[in-house]
Amino acid sequence: MSKIEKDEVREYRISMEAIVDANGAEEQALGWYYYLDDKIQFPFQAKCIEARKASPLKTGEIVNVTQMLSEDECMQEMFVEIKWNGQTFGVPLTQVEALNVDADTQGAIEDWHYWVSRGYEF
């Protein structure tokens, strides 16, 4: 069951820009990867919006997001590289919310959050 209501405008944009012509899970993952990598302007600050067992971040912490992780790291879920407490590592893009970014960056990140919240998978 989806956590959020269907947004037809966002669905259309995702189908035409992120996963256009994707056949299968691998092509969808790559489509998302390149869509996000193209739209997001790095670096930016972000706030952790969801604690996860596999990540040391706590809800509300501020981090610096520096880039997407490699294609290979993003074949199941989209990950970004962060700098936090003197360390550099990857976290799921769904774990962070961008702060003070341009409209393209904000929209692309919101598209990914929407996709995941709707329960869609590759």
Render pLDDT for 28-55 as a digit per residue (tens, 0 to 9): 999 999 999 999 999 999 999 999 998 8
Helical pair 103-117 and 25-39, crossing angle rounded to 10 deg: 150
Does residue 68 carry a pLDDT above 60? yes
93-120 pLDDT, tens digit each: 999 999 999 999 999 999 999 999 999 9
* Domains of the chain and CATH, by start: 8-117 (2.30.30.530)
Query: 97 near 44, Cβ under 8 Å?
Result: no
pTM for the structure as a whole: 0.94
Check residue 33 and give its pLDDT. Answer: 98
Check residue 3 and give its pLDDT. Answer: 74
